[in-house]
């Protein structure tokens, strides 16, 4: 699992290096999972495992929104 804040920190660094927030979010989630052979990482689709982080704000326009976590779900169960 990702430690608290690690995803937000990584995305912010990628944006600071010149990536768009969308590119940075994909790189930090789906792309990394694909490199490790995990085709489920970073995807929200029917039949896929439901690990989600709900945040306040739009991380596609403001990467700092990833620091404002509202809820965390693992395999469909709220854990935070």
pLDDT at 13: 94
pLDDT at 25: 87
pLDDT at 3: 63
pLDDT at 53: 85
pLDDT at 1: 47
**Alpha-carbon Rg of the chain, whole angstroms?**
12
Q: Is the pTM of this model over 0.75?
A: no
Q: Where are the beta strands (DSSP E) in the chain?
A: 52-55, 69-74, 77-78
pLDDT along the chain (80 residues), means of 10: 75 95 86 74 73 89 90 86
* 3 state SS of 56: coil
Q: What are the residue boundaries of the structural domains of the chain, listed by start?
A: 6-78
């Amino acid at each position: 699992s990702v430690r608290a804040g690690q995803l937000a920190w990584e995305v912010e660094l990628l944006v600071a290096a010149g990536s768009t927030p969308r590119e940075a979010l994909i790189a930090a989630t789906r792309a990394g999972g694909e490199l490790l052979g995990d085709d489920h990482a970073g995807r929200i689709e029917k039949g896929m495992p439901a690990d989600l982080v709900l945040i306040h704000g739009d991380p596609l326009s403001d990467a700092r929104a990833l620091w404002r976590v509202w809820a965390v779900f693992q395999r469909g169960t709220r854990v935070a």
